[in-house]
Structure 1
Amino acid sequence: MAVVSTSLAGAAVSSHLTQFSGLRKSFLKLDNTSSNSTHSFFQNVDSHLRLASSNKGCRGVVTMAGSGKFFVGGNWKCNGTKDSISKLVSDLNSATLESDVDVVVAPPFVYIDQVKNSLTDRIEIAAQNCWTGKGGAFTGEISVEQLKDLGCKWVVLGHSERRHVIGEDDQFIGKKAAYALSEGVGVIACIGELLEEREAGKTFDVCFQQMKAYADAVPSWDNIVVAYEPVWAIGTGKVASPEQAQEVHIAVRDWLSKNVSAEVASKTRIIYGGSVNGGNCAELAKKEDIDGFLVGGASLKGPEFATIINSVTSKKVAA
């Protein structure tokens, strides 16, 4: 597939992304003939528009892919102590959260048991990594079976820090994902480009290569959430504009349609990560193909994380 420039101006994007008052386009068809044509990228809009109604008051909720729910994950990374995590859990337990959101947090391995035993069942637990198979003589690794024993329902795989700091390659990550899924653990499958790759116009090439590694390995997409995280926006304070994020989400959904199936493309939730906070989440959440967030630093602040979770209201429209 031809590379399409990822630096579309907001005006150009808005002129082609028609607002449907909550109607969510399942995906747009990418043009294969020109890498420079903004117009051709947005010409073919998929004709299947999805709209779900809610019985909650007089409000309707835009249908989210897959389960019909917005998805927000909190990646706590290598942060926290027993005391600070106890405070964070307390804040989350007392927060008022919208009901139509799947919420997951990923504590450091050493605190998973503490969090599982004290956090409300409203929020599920994820691990930040796992091994490629069963346990054994693999010093320092943690198996999926052990994660399940602690009550983990999800695992974050392919995060840029694992790729670019630890050195995990696409195939290794795909192998991890396949094993986790085979054991009934959901995968938050991360993809994303470096700053130099974006500036070189390679955003789609990089993301599609990472997607292919998952597709080549996994037995099914039923329990996968794709997290697009531009590496240049992770922990830097720089955030992809809603238009930039939507552009990549559309492209990833189109890739799934062409390389896996239209059904998988329609069902798979694609969430955004990269310096998401309480101030920018609402505008990002309004975009049709942004199905939620994977949150780093802001997930360590209970009230702000709750604000991000509740940004699902940005997708609600008058019924």
Structure 2
Amino acid sequence: MRRKLAAGNWKMNGTTDALQEIAALGRAHPEAAAEVLICPPATLIAPAARTAGDGPIGIGGQDCHDEAEGAHTGDISAGMLADAGARAVILGHSERRAAHHERSEDVRAKARAAQAAGLMTIICLGESQLQREATNTLDIIGAQLSLSVPDGSTGENLVVAYEPIWAIGSGMTPTPDQIGEVHDFMRARLERRFGAGVGRSVRLLYGGSVKGENAGEIFAISNVDGALVGGASLTAGAFSPIISALETA
């Protein structure tokens, strides 16, 4: 059985005052049936890990470099994330692919480094509105999946998140059939590449305007094992209903 996962991406939001949200989330879900992960800005990873302690909330990073060390001003290695208390890292988010011109090959190199450092990698895939309207969504997702995921990935070190770019922060959500089509496609591709055992063990998340009101419907869709949540993860009050919906899905 794949353990369901609710991952919160705080993006460039949060200062030390926001750590109280992690503490509140831990109190609200002291024995969460689903895995819960918060990925705050890099400045908060170490204090967030201390706040979370040995409780039910895990801490992750939002990006890492593909090298272990070196002359890379402003960058953070996977080993540094792990040393700060992170146990996972988001890679290939559409905002990184667009604003930082990251290619799928770059994402794969980062994922190799992160997995070597013992981090679980959450690799993001997604199509634009134009690509969706051109009806070649599966071609886009298939190429990103093939090029972004490194060989040797397993159900322990790989999570794949489908985030249609046009749905992120827009309030727009694909239909259940659209989400199911992509998630079933990704599952089949993973099984074909890695074999049925590994392919079926990798968790597939949906991301894009997930909130408490629509979470239950999304989590009922085939091969949706949880969510990668943006704005709604910033407060315990907004994120908790999503976790609860996942626990009962």
* TM superposition score category, shorter chain reference: over 0.9
Q: Pairwise mapping of residues 53-132 of structure 1 onto structure 2 (< 5 A)?
A: 63=1, 65=2, 69-83=3-17, 85-96=18-29, 99-120=32-53, 121-132=55-66
Q: Of the candidates 202, 207, 219, which is equivalent to residue 285 of structure 1?
A: 219
User: Which of structure 1's runs of 4+ aligned residues deviate more than 4 A?
Assistant: none
Identity %: 38
- Note the C-alpha offset of 1:302: 0.6
Number of matched residues?
Answer: 247
SS across alignment from 1:279: helix
Q: CA deviation at 1:221?
A: 2.2
Q: Give, in whole Å, the separation in 1 of the partners of 2:233 and 2:107.
A: 24
Per the alignment, in what secondary structure is the counterpart of residue 239 of structure 1? coil
Residue segments in structure 2 that go unaligned for 5+ positions in a row: none
Q: Give the structure-1-normalised TM-score.
A: 0.74
Aligned to 1:20: none
In the alignment, what sits opposite 1:36?
A: none
Q: Is the 8 A contact 1:98 1:310 kept in 2?
A: no
1:294 paired with 2:233, answer no
Kindly provide the amino acid, as one letter, of the partner of residue 96 in structure 1: H
Deviation per residue, 1:133-179 (Å, 9 max, x gap):
11121011001111111111000001000001211001011000011
Distance change (3 Å), C-alpha of 1:96 and 1:260: closer
| Aligned pairs for 1:31-42 within 5 A | none
Checking the alignment, whether the CA contact within 8 Å between 2:35 and 2:57 is kept in structure 1 is yes
Q: 1:75 to 1:246 in 2, by over 3 A?
A: same
> Match of 2:37, as an amino acid?
V
Looking at CA atoms only, which structure, 1 or 2, has the larger radius of gyration?
1
The residue type paired with residue 21 of structure 2 is L
2:193 corresponds in structure 1 to 259
Whether 1:248 and 2:182 are equivalent positions in the alignment is: yes
1:227-242 pair list within 5 angstroms? 227-242=161-176
What RMSD over aligned residues (CA atoms) do the two structures have, in Å?
A: 1.4
Which whole-Å CA distance do the structure 2 matches of 1:273 and 1:97 have between them?
24
Shift of 1:287: 1.4
1:311 Cα deviation from its structure 2 partner: 1.0
Residue 272, structure 1, aligned to residue 206, structure 2: yes
Q: TM-score, normalised by structure 2?
A: 0.94
- Aligned residue among 147, 152, 157 for 1:219: 152
Unaligned runs of at least 5 residues, structure 1: 1-62
